[in-house]
Amino acid sequence: MTTAMNDGRYAGTERRRDRVEAAIAAATRDGTNLTASAIARAARVDRTFLYRHRDLLERLHTAAREPTGPAAANGAPVTRASLEADLANAHARNTRLVDRIQQLEKRLSEVLEAQVWRESGLGATTDIEELQQTITRLEQQAVDVSASMEEREAELEAAREANRQLTRALNQRE
């Protein structure tokens, strides 16, 4: 009787393992979420089942790291790491754009203020006004050069990160 119970328990475990493997395969194929909770739910098992069976958990983690979905325009596969890098780059670009908008708003305010003073007849003399325009033009050139330099630094950092990821991927293959 004990043998029959053990055989039944073993068969039940094997059925659950098969369901987990099928859920991992389906999630990989469909590009859905590859987390322990999502796979456990899809396979109709408890999450602790995955943690008790380390080989299944390792298979899940491996599937989550591997490329999923269509390749990007440059032919590189889309991975979680590449998406995170894209998100970080988008955040950095957003920050640069916010700074640039603030600079442009400040410059617009100064130009409008000067125009109001000129039209009211209370403006500065021509010499001072020309000097202020020269200063404004030079400040704008400095801002443009700084923005260009920041953009190039961001591109360089993104290229370095891509090189690091490729190097890690090559090292892991060996």
Which of residues 153 and 174 earns the better pLDDT score?
Answer: 153
DSSP-derived secondary structure for 1-64: -HHHHHHHHHHHHHHHHHHHHHHHHHHHHHT---SHHHHHHHHT--HHHHHH-HHHHHHHHHHH
**Cα distances (angstroms) measured from residue 31 to each of 50, 63, 79, 88:** 20, 10, 11, 22
* 94-148 pLDDT, tens digit each: 999 999 999 999 999 999 988 888 788 776 566 777 888 899 999 999 999 999 9
**0.85 cut: is pTM over it?**
no
What is the pLDDT at residue 123? 61
What residues contact residue 168 under an 8 Å CB cut-off, 6+ apart?
none
* 52-106 pLDDT, tens digit each: 989 988 988 888 877 655 554 555 666 777 788 889 999 999 999 999 999 999 9
> Could you give the CA distance from residue 16 to residue 43 in angstroms, rounded to a whole number?
7
> Could you give the CA distance from residue 174 to residue 172 in angstroms, rounded to a whole number?
5
β-partners of residue 77 are 71
> Residue 121: what residue type?
G
> Could you give the CA distance from residue 91 to residue 83 in angstroms, rounded to a whole number?
12
